[in-house]
């Protein structure tokens, strides 16, 4: 027997999840969809319940040095609601569990919960339970969101088809540039605490990082237009990683057009200041919480006038692989860490 | 404006939850029961979904020095299922989120998940989702359990009535004595690592601490006997604290008979060795995961032959207060920290 220790980072998060969940056997007839998508789906006598859960850890997912607790509370809820919308479902309830060390005061927790309640009110969901407990160090947040969807209306990642259009909502890369700016100011502050932070009036990109919204409006728009996406997920880890999930789970290839990737002017300008490629920020930045989906070409006319939806490519046979066509006319293999492709 | 900082421990856990949740407004028609019970209840077109969530933090809720990871995985699931049974419901699914530092290997996580799957298999629930993430320090576990119950069959804490019998399943105090023994061995080990641990063949009390079970059998028995408890909760924080929850939420008093509190012989013997009062261990020890419930006196005949259910008292008018009648014939006020009553 081998005595070697398997290190977690040798697998990566998705490898680890795959390893830990590969032996799951579904026992309940009501379990329609389990591990492996944005959310799970449970049948409840005609309608379906959608469940998603996320854990946020201080020092890993957020830095309290530049994250107001109220924004953190808001964001903790929103990122989970985003997973429910990504199933084409409507969130209805959440549970919220937190662990915190004794460096937090009641007022600090109240501020956090103000953000939680603000998000609940905005999205019409109820906080129905949770747990508050101590931690030895740091702040840990675990949210479970529950939603509902009409039978067979939920949308998985695995059901895109060859020829489908690849679409994304809003714009990408801003949250990453917001984070980059906040991190720069943090470093400056740590070196020279007397200097005032210079956030350069970058309210758009900082807002995208600290107070993201979930795209309920897109789900409502798709319903109004009678569009059933063929596959969908939210963009939390960066566009290229998410596109590759849809390709892998749908067993397809993809062509992505760099020039079609929606990037806000504020994002482009800040990328320039940091000498970053805006496309790289969109492909790999993460935390945009936009919706990435595929749909039938026949539905194109229904979205063409929407300023909030961009068609960025199309699905191909798996044998054609996953590629990005650059503005310069080059064709690169799409990899999860998007910018690597450009640097080679 | 006051600049004073409110310390969390000045409120206590329940005070804190009350403070943080007092402004909740329910928006969803499907939310039948929100914060404040073992689990929340959601209506899903005729049947009801029950949701409960718990967070377990290394160094606060468990000590990996004497907790095998497999047992920890098992217990993390079971304590949540116990909350679902405490609503008179049947658990059907769970989500499991964990955060862990890089001191854990993949093999360690696999061991943890073996316990998770063992509990899922035993109780017939599906693991349908979750999140795995890094932590800067320590191991954090968050589980959300989902269950179902027929309309109006779920049992709250607030619906006991005057004259109802107070009942508890199994026996109490063993998990606390198991913990006391494990803590003693840990101290001995830390002082003299060469000594072998002496767990004195105390498999019962140690098992109750490290690998508790949820009382599905009791819920099934109550159903078979056609008994609808009038109030119910699980015993996670100690009997007296839980009884006081039912009193407070049902607006009632209680008489508890010390001699009726079920305590296993192994628990009594170990209490003697540690010079602890076994009754105090039962009242305040916690982590027994037995079911505490009230029922109509008319149902007494249906449970009298059960060796797994003890009648330990009865509910009174709130004006009579909450008291324990001791074996010695004294009457003490019941307080959340049971043994204080005896020491005064």
HEC assignment per residue over A194-237: CCCCCCCCCHHHHHHHHCCCCCHHHHHHHHHCCCCCCEEEEECC
Q: pLDDT band for A105, please (50, 70, 90 cuts).
A: confident
The predicted structure's pLDDT at residue A141: 96
Please tell me the least confidently modeled range out of A103-112, A309-318, B52-61, B251-260. Answer: A103-112
B338-to-B81, B133, B286 alpha-carbon distances in Å: 26, 39, 11
CB contact under 8 Å between B106 and A40, yes or no, is no
Tell me the CATH number of domain B165-343, given options 3.90.650.10, 3.40.50.10490, 3.30.460.80, 3.90.1150.10.
Answer: 3.90.650.10
Say whether B245 counts as a known binding-site residue.
no
Is-contact A133 B61, C-beta < 8 A? Answer: yes
Sheet with B331-333: list strands edge to edge. Answer: B231-235, B290-295, B165-169, B309-316, B253-257, B322-325, B331-333
Mean local confidence (pLDDT), A66-72: 94
DSSP state of A318: G
Pairing of strands A165-169, A309-317: antiparallel
CA distance B198 to chain A (A): 29
Question: B29-149 maps to which CATH number?
Answer: 3.30.1330.10
E strands in A45-161: 47-57, 90-100, 126-134, 140-149
The predicted structure's pLDDT at residue B344: 34
Nearest to A282 by CA among A309, A243, A252, A253: A243
d(CA B236, CA B291): 9
| B319 part of contact set with chain A, CB < 8 Å | no
- Which of residues 10 through 39 in chain B touch A, CB cutoff 8 A? 10-11, 13, 16-17, 19-21, 23-28, 30-31, 33-35, 39
Q: Which of A30-34, A254-258, B34-38 is the most confident on average?
A: A254-258
With 60 as the cut, is the pLDDT of residue B9 above it? yes
Mean local confidence (pLDDT), B105-120: 89
Say whether B82 counts as a known binding-site residue.
no
Mean local confidence (pLDDT), A170-175: 97
CA angle B325, B330, B332 (to 5 degrees): 65
B44-to-A149, B28, B30, B85 alpha-carbon distances in Å: 11, 12, 7, 19
CA distance B190 to chain A (A): 20
B309-to-A129, B82, B229, B290 alpha-carbon distances in Å: 29, 16, 13, 10
The predicted structure's pLDDT at residue A342: 40
Please tell me the least confidently modeled range out of A143-157, A318-332, B38-52. Answer: B38-52
Q: Which tokens in the block code for residue B89?
A: 């419901």
A146-to-A47, A101, A228 alpha-carbon distances in Å: 13, 28, 21
Is-contact B63 B186, C-beta < 8 A? Answer: yes
Report chain B residues whose CB lies below 8 A from the CB of A34. Answer: 126-129
Name which residue leads in pLDDT, B223 or B35. B223
The predicted structure's pLDDT at residue A107: 84
Sheet with B126-134: list strands edge to edge. Answer: B31-33, B40-44, B47-57, B140-149, B90-100, B126-134
Please tell me the least confidently modeled range out of A79-93, A162-176, B126-140. Answer: B126-140
| B42 part of contact set with chain A, CB < 8 Å | yes
Residue reference for tokens 């030895």: A136
Is this complex's ipTM strictly greater than 0.95?
A: no
With 60 as the cut, is the pLDDT of residue B339 above it? no
The predicted structure's pLDDT at residue B338: 44
With 70 as the cut, is the pLDDT of residue B24 above it? no
Say whether B226 counts as a known binding-site residue.
no
Kindly give the interhelix angle for B265-273 and B203-210, rounded to the nearest 10 degrees: 100
Nearest to A50 by CA among A157, A144, A175: A144
The predicted structure's pLDDT at residue A280: 94
Q: Helix or strand or coil: residue B322? A: strand
DSSP state of B261: S
With b meaning 16 or more CB within 10 Å and e meaning fewer, what string describes A132-150?
A: bbbbebbbbbbbbbbbbbe
CB contact under 8 Å between A24 and B135, yes or no, is no
DSSP state of A6: P
| B76 part of contact set with chain A, CB < 8 Å | no
| B146 part of contact set with chain A, CB < 8 Å | yes
Secondary structure element (H or E) that encloses residue B82, with its range: helix B69-85
Mean local confidence (pLDDT), B305-323: 97
Is-contact A247 A176, C-beta < 8 A? Answer: no
Mean local confidence (pLDDT), A312-318: 98
DSSP state of B302: H
Q: Which tokens in the block code for residue B211?
A: 């690998």
Mean local confidence (pLDDT), B70-94: 94
Is-contact A197 A203, C-beta < 8 A? Answer: no
d(CA B42, CA A67): 33
CB contact under 8 Å between B126 and A98, yes or no, is no
Nearest to B140 by CA among A62, A57, A16: A57
Of the partner residues B20, B102, B134, the one whose CB lies closest to the CB of residue A110: B20
Domain B29-149 and domain B165-343, same fold? Reply is no
Residues 6+ apart with CB under 8 A from B80: B52, B53, B54, B91, B94, B143, B144, B145
Q: pLDDT band for B67, please (50, 70, 90 cuts).
A: very high
Would you give the distance in Å from CA B9 to the centre of its chain? 21
Of the partner residues B31, B46, B130, the one whose CB lies closest to the CB of residue A93: B31
| B68 part of contact set with chain A, CB < 8 Å | no
Say whether B284 counts as a known binding-site residue.
no
Other Cβ atoms closer than 10 A to A4? 8
Name which residue leads in pLDDT, B46 or B201. B201
Domain residue ranges in chain B: 29-149, 165-343
Q: Helix or strand or coil: residue B157? A: coil
pLDDT digits (tens, 9 = 90+) for B214-225: 999 999 999 999
pLDDT digits (tens, 9 = 90+) for A17-57: 676 666 666 667 667 676 666 667 766 667 788 888 999 99
Q: pLDDT band for A93, please (50, 70, 90 cuts).
A: confident
CA distance B211 to chain A (A): 21
Tell me what the pLDDT averaged over chain B comes to.
88
With 80 as the cut, is the pLDDT of residue B165 above it? yes
The predicted structure's pLDDT at residue B2: 45
Mean local confidence (pLDDT), A282-291: 94
The predicted structure's pLDDT at residue B1: 40
Of the partner residues A5, A60, A99, the one whose CB lies closest to the CB of residue B133: A60
Secondary structure element (H or E) that encloses residue B311, with its range: strand B309-316
Nearest chain B Cα to A43, which residue? B44
With 70 as the cut, is the pLDDT of residue A328 above it? yes
Query: What are the phi and psi torsion angles at B148 (to 5°)?
Result: -135, 155
Q: Dihedral (C-alpha) B257, B262, B267, B268: value to the nearest 10 degrees?
A: 50
Report chain A residues whose CB lies below 8 A from the CB of B40. Answer: 93, 95, 128-129
pLDDT digits (tens, 9 = 90+) for B262-276: 999 999 999 999 999
Share above pLDDT 90 across residues of chain A, in percent, rounded to a whole number: 63
- Region for A311 from its dihedrals, namely left if φ exceeds 0, alpha if ψ lies in -120 to 50, beta otherwise: beta
Of the partner residues A10, A46, A57, the one whose CB lies closest to the CB of residue B133: A57
With 80 as the cut, is the pLDDT of residue A339 above it? no
- Which of residues 86 through 145 in chain A touch B, CB cutoff 8 A? 92-93, 95, 97-99, 102, 104-107, 109-110, 113, 117, 120-121, 124-138, 140, 142, 144
Nearest chain B Cα to A110, which residue? B20
B132-to-A147, A219, A266, B135 alpha-carbon distances in Å: 22, 27, 33, 10
Please tell me the least confidently modeled range out of B87-91, B162-166, B309-313. Answer: B87-91
CA angle B307, B311, B315 (to 5 degrees): 160
Q: pLDDT band for A338, please (50, 70, 90 cuts).
A: very low
Nearest to A333 by CA among A325, A131, A203: A325
- Which of residues 156 through 195 in chain A touch B, CB cutoff 8 A? none
Please tell me the least confidently modeled range out of A1-5, A323-327, B148-152, B309-313. Answer: A1-5
CA atoms B113, B119, B124, B130: torsion sign? negative
Is-contact B292 B156, C-beta < 8 A? Answer: no
Tell me what the pLDDT averaged over chain A comes to.
88
Of the partner residues B40, B117, B131, the one whose CB lies closest to the CB of residue A54: B131
């Amino acid at each position: 027997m081998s005595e070697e220790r398997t290190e977690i980072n040798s697998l990566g998060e998705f490898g680890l999840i795959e390893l830990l969940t590969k032996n799951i056997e579904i026992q309940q007839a009501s379990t329609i969809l389990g591990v492996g998508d944005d959310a799970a789906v449970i049948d409840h006598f005609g309608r379906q319940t959608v469940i998603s859960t996320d854990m946020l850890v201080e020092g890993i997912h957020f830095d309290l040095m530049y994250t107001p607790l109220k924004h953190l509370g808001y964001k903790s809820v929103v990122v989970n609601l985003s997973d429910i919308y990504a199933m084409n479902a409507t969130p209805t309830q959440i549970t919220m569990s937190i662990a915190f060390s004794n460096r937090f005061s009641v007022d600090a927790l109240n501020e956090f919960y103000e953000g939680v309640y603000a998000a609940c009110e905005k999205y019409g969901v109820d906080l129905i339970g949770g747990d508050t407990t101590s931690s030895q160090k740091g702040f840990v947040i675990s949210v479970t969101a529950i939603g509902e969807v009409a039978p067979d209306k939920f949308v998985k990642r695995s059901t895109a088809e060859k020829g489908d259009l690849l679409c994304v909502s809003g714009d990408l890369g801003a949250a990453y540039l917001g984070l980059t700016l906040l991190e720069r100011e943090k470093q400056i502050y740590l070196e020279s605490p007397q200097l005032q932070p210079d956030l350069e009036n970058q309210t758009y990109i900082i807002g995208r990082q600290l107070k993201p919204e979930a795209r309920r409006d897109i789900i409502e728009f798709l319903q109004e237009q009678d569009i059933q996406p063929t596959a969908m997920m939210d963009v939390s880890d960066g566009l290229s990683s998410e596109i590759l999930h849809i390709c892998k789970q749908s067993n397809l290839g993809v062509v992505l057009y760099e020039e079609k990737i929606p990037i806000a002017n504020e994002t482009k300008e800040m990328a320039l200041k940091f000498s970053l490629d805006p496309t790289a920020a969109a492909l790999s930045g993460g935390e945009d919480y936009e919706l990435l989906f595929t749909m039938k070409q026949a539905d194109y006319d229904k979205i063409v006038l929407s300023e909030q939806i961009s068609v960025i490519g199309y699905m191909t046979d798996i044998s054609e692989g996953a590629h990005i066509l650059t503005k310069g006319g080059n064709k690169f293999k799409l990899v999860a860490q998007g910018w690597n492709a450009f640097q080679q």
